[in-house]
Structure 1
Amino acid sequence: MSGVSGTSTVTTEVVMPGPIEPAGLQVQARDLPAPAAGQVLLRMEATGVSFAEQQMRRGRYYDQPTFPFVPGYDVVGTAVAVGPRVAAETVGRRFAAITKIGGWASHLLIEAADLMPVPEGLDPAEVETLIINGITAWQMLHRTAKVRPGGTIVVLGANGGVGSVLVQIARAANMTVIGTAAARHHDAVRALGATPVDYRDADAYEQIRALAPEGVDAVFDHIAGENLVKSWKLLRKGGYLCVYGNAATVNDEGGNFWPTMALVSRLMLWNYLPNRRGASFFSIWAGKTITPKAFRARRREDLAQLLQLLADQEVKPQIAARFPLSAATDAMLLAESRTVMGKVVLTPDA
């Protein structure tokens, strides 16, 4: 059983021991030390299963740590203890954090500087869907592509964790959205405010072009692969292609470093073509090393914007399912089934 006792904590963690199938995930308990200077001990209330973990278990996520490790890209939780140089009133408050790894645990140690405040009264699982997915969507739309209100965008995978949030924040900015998804998700995508197109149709890109014959202001593509050029050709002059994944290679063998570098280089070169369009590979970690204070400030500001949209009911979190932490295998299997709308969330065991 997990809990806080004196200066130590027993945490329950889900471990990826090596390249595995979902059934190979291991649940273990271990002692955590007391928070060091600048650290906070967070009791997890919600964490998520994202595409990153699906790649990590295959050893194919760009710059993932060596095995074994605890996955979990983001987390919502309550501070239960703090180390030196952290304000005592931090204890008892709820925060969100982007961890990249470590979130699949009942308790975890996090640098206080990386915490983002979460107002009371919000469902932690709903907030969880807006951390990595929401901040990614917000920054791509408003900071990278800089689409103006009233513009038209294409969201590939509009039923996914990032895609479903992206559709909603674009609609909140009075944008027209065309979203690709399997036919079974079309009603749900339409309810979010997007015009759905079945990505499985051979003429899917022709259908999109018919909906926006003069081109679109931005395309958000997490797939890349052989259709990347088609995404590029959907843009009007001045449009922007924002790629934030390489899902087309998820089942390939070997590491993902060189495929990612090749994709990034290709997109960079496209910026020099004489057509006044832009392209880039989005990384939510850009700027952390060079300007860490500004990097963290942007995250806090963007999550605050998203949580305000949540409070105003302009964004409805898409929770595909909730599983207890110990059922991480089942959660991973469902997330990888490609049958869900939104994000699979892990919560503490009873």
Structure 2
Amino acid sequence: ANKRSQLLPGAGIRCSPWGSDLPQPRAPSPARRVPIAPTPPTRPVDMAKEAAEMSEETVHMIERSAGKDPEGALCPGDTKEMRAVVLTGFGGLNKLRVTRKAMPEPQEGEIKIRVKACGLNFLDLMVRQGNIDNPPKTPLVPGFECSGIVEALGSNTKGFEIGDRVMAFVNYNAWAEVVCTPLEFVYKIPDDMTFPEAAAFSMNFVAAYMMLFEVANLRDGMSVLVHSAGGGVGQAVAQLCSTVPNVTVFGTASSFKHEAIRESVTHLFDRNADYVQEVKKISPDGVDVVLDCLCGENTGKGLGLLKPLGTYILYGSSNMVTGETKSFFSFAKSWWQVEKVNPIKLYEENKVIAGFSLLNLLFKQGRGGLVKTVVQKLLSLYEQKKIKPLVDSLWALEEVGTLMVGRDGSVSTGTPGPRSGRAWLITYKHTLGLIRTPPFGCVSTPLARALSKRETS
């Protein structure tokens, strides 16, 4: 059996065709990206025959199994434990651990989901650093969005059945193989939407839609400036703007992303250039909407670019993050650069300033019903093929640290985002991050490959 064991594609797991080998951990490669649809290596004839003879029961077992543990195998019988990424303390990448935890069970009004993909957003980086208001105590499992299959239902959870394909918001704990979350934060997904797409869909498109249409009231002929146009929210904003006639989109992004995203916006500028003057050359009166995830000096610039009756919306503060760990200097610099808002000046200039936090809206302010309505509108646009999250590559769960590191040692935001499933991290085009888990456990290599191919299709 040992001689016939094969390496599952991209997963770093060894497992014999008969399940007699234990999965062996492998150190993550610092710069390894796994293509979404890798060409499987040549398989011995006898193993191909064996795969064809695998029963449906085995397939079902894989779908419901927990993952491997770095210290040994976690086969289908180990139903009380799961793998998860745990943040042991606030700080750098060395604070993240892939470990084994007790599997949660749904309480009243909750749904238990077997995670197929989960998202990595800039907020997750800030959580890792402890760079947020009232951070929770560690250790904790990061992550706020995921997609997967309903595995169990708590009481009073009408409308869902075991086996439903769903996406969900979670108040932490998404970077795990199993999550439980309240019914109101779970949404069924279309049959043709993949799990990675669903994980890339919820946070990015809901935030973009609510800022554009619920806060700024985007209409025909308006103009929008969006920072970090190469990020997940930025690309969602661009797609949603294309659903409204005659909307002009100005975007800023790092120069190395321009080629990939140029077609998605009307005018694209380098984030380090004097974009204020560039915008005014094209639109002397300014813009109707500014979507700012940077903060700092960009707040004053954004307010200055607004037309009368224009709306500036702050939905992040990524300028406060400049390295692997929390920087008091970066925080102080960003705070100092924020222009102090004078309400009288807003009144005189007919300008609106607003803030938007989707997670606070969901988990602190009780607006889950409003968000559910927005999700249904977005799914309608998806089914009309007007919007679509873009996925680019897969990453292993153990490589979450690598995915968080950008070219300057900071978070790799705005780069292709990941999708997740069972033990992989994947990146979405022009977004960043999700975690996906590959088929693991005691299963033959050919069948595992087949399932991996099916899940990424």
Q: TM-score, normalised by structure 2?
A: 0.69
Give the aligned partner of residue 433 of structure 2. 344
- Confirm or deny that 1:321 pairs with 2:393: yes
Q: Partner letter of residue 175 of structure 2?
A: W
Give the equivalent residue in structure 1 for 2:41: none
Q: Which runs of 5+ in 2 are unaligned?
A: 1-64, 68-74, 416-429, 440-457
Distance in 2, matches of 1:2 and 1:217, equals 49
Whichever residue aligns with residue 49 of structure 1, its letter is L
Unmatched segments (≥5 aa) in structure 1: none
The structure with higher relative contact order (CA 8 Å, sep 6+) is 2
- Following superposition, the deviation at residue 88 of structure 1 comes to 8.3
3-state SS of 1:173 partner = coil
Q: How does 1:100-139 map to 2 (within 5 A)?
A: 100-139=171-210
- State the Cα deviation string for residues 89-127 of structure 1 (Å, max 9, x = none): 521112222214111000011112221221222111112
Give distance in 2, aligned partners of 1:29 and 1:139.
37
Counterpart of 1:308 in structure 2 is: 380
* Counterpart residue number, 2:112: 41
Q: Percent identity?
A: 24
Are the structure 2 counterparts of residues 107 and 70 from structure 1 closer, same or farther at C-alpha, using a change threshold of 3 Å? same
Q: Which piece of structure 1 moves more, 316-325 or 28-37?
A: 316-325
Measured at CA, do residues 190 and 129 of structure 1 come closer, stay the same or move farther in structure 2, by a change above 3 Å?
same
Q: Which one-letter code corresponds to 2:411 in the other structure?
A: E
Counterparts in 2 of 1:170-189, with a 5 A limit?
170-174=241-245, 175-189=247-261
Deviations 1:21-52 (A, max 9, x none): 22431011122243222221101111111001
CA–CA separation in structure 2 for the residues paired with 1:206 and 1:26 = 46
Aligned length: 347
Distance 1:268 1:315 in 2: 38
Q: Give the structure 2 partner of residue 221 of structure 1.
A: 292
**Which of residues 354, 365, 371 is equivalent to 1:280?**
354
Write the distance in 2 (CA, Å) between the matches of 1:270 and 1:148. 27
Contact 1:97 1:115 in 2 (8 A): yes
Larger Rg: 2
Q: Which moved more, 1:19-28 or 1:220-229?
A: 19-28
Distance 1:32 1:153 in 2: 44
1:154-233 mapped onto 2 (5 Å cutoff):
154-174=225-245, 175-201=247-273, 203-233=274-304
Task: Please name the residue that 1:2 is paired with.
Answer: 66
Structure 1 Cα separation of the partners of residues 111 and 331 of structure 2:
32
Q: Residue deviations 1:202-228, cap 9 Å, x none?
A: x22100111211221100010010232
1:242-299 CA distance string (max 9 Å, x none): 010111112453599999999999558477441111001211145557873xx22221
Q: CA RMSD in A?
A: 3.0
Structure 1 residues 324 and 262: CA distance shift in structure 2, 3 A? same
Greater strand content:
1
Q: Is the 8 A contact 2:297 2:338 kept in 1?
A: no
Structure 1 residues 18 and 114 mapped into 2: Cα distance closer, same or farther (>3 Å)? same
1:298 aligned residue (370, 373, 380): 370
What is the distance in 2 between the residues matched to 1:181 and 1:224?
Answer: 15
